[in-house]
Amino acid sequence: MHVEFLVEEPSAEAALANVVPRIVGTDATFKIHPHNGKRDLLAKLPDRLAGYAPWLPQDWRIVVLIDEDRQACRDLKQELERAARRAGLVTWSANKSPLARVLNRLAVEELEAWFFGDVDALRSAFPRVSPSLANRAAFRDPDAIRGGTWEALERVLKRVGYYPGGLLKTDASRRISEHMIPERNRSRSFVVFRDALRQMTTMSI
């Protein structure tokens, strides 16, 4: 099995490069294609999927990962699903079987919520972060952090002396994801991504 990941930006590429092998093990190879932000990915997605469709090998899958960014989840997911249908590709949401070629998933509300979902990984990368962070009301539900999760991550790290000039998203993503353990993540959107990716890549063709 081989998986092509289409993601918004290099920070997502950095995170998946470390996390995906821990989800799929040796059951799949993968390649990650970063874009220049959400708008760029959404604009290019229909043509990219249409380009894959005629030649996509039977044992290849496509995963589209995009930030929710306080956009209506249902509307955004439907946009992704429509792009796949128009390309003639079956999605995991439509048919959880070997016929599914595309997995569309949202990081709610942003990729950084997944880092708050694994505070042990966050603290391994940045040891001055408080061990009680996960128990604070504002961070108990990683997918419900208010005011933007990357902004929240920047505030948490700057408060204890990291990235005084502003968060370097790709660097932080790489450093945190190096320590992430998929099974302990508390972010629901991560768990949904993890479980679907694992099922899709281990299902018999």
Q: Are residues 73 and 96 in the same domain?
A: yes
- Residue 150 region by backbone torsions, left for phi larger than 0, else alpha for psi between -120 and 50, else beta: alpha
- Residue 13: both structure tokens together: 């590429």
Q: Are residues 177 and 191 in the same domain?
A: no
Number of domains in the chain: 2
Q: Which position has the token pair 């229909």?
A: 46
Q: Are residues 94 and 135 in the same domain?
A: no
Per-residue confidence in pLDDT tens, the chain, 205 aa: 999 999 999 999 999 999 999 999 987 899 999 999 999 999 999 999 999 999 999 999 999 999 987 666 788 999 999 999 999 999 999 999 999 999 999 998 889 999 999 999 999 999 999 999 999 988 999 999 987 899 999 999 999 999 999 999 999 999 999 999 999 999 999 999 999 999 999 886 6
List Cα–Cα distances, 17 to 93, 155, 189, in angstroms: 24, 25, 18
Residue 86 is part of a domain; what is its CATH number? 3.40.1400.10
Q: Are residues 64 and 158 in the same domain?
A: no
171: domain range? 112-183
In three-state secondary structure terms, 181 is coil
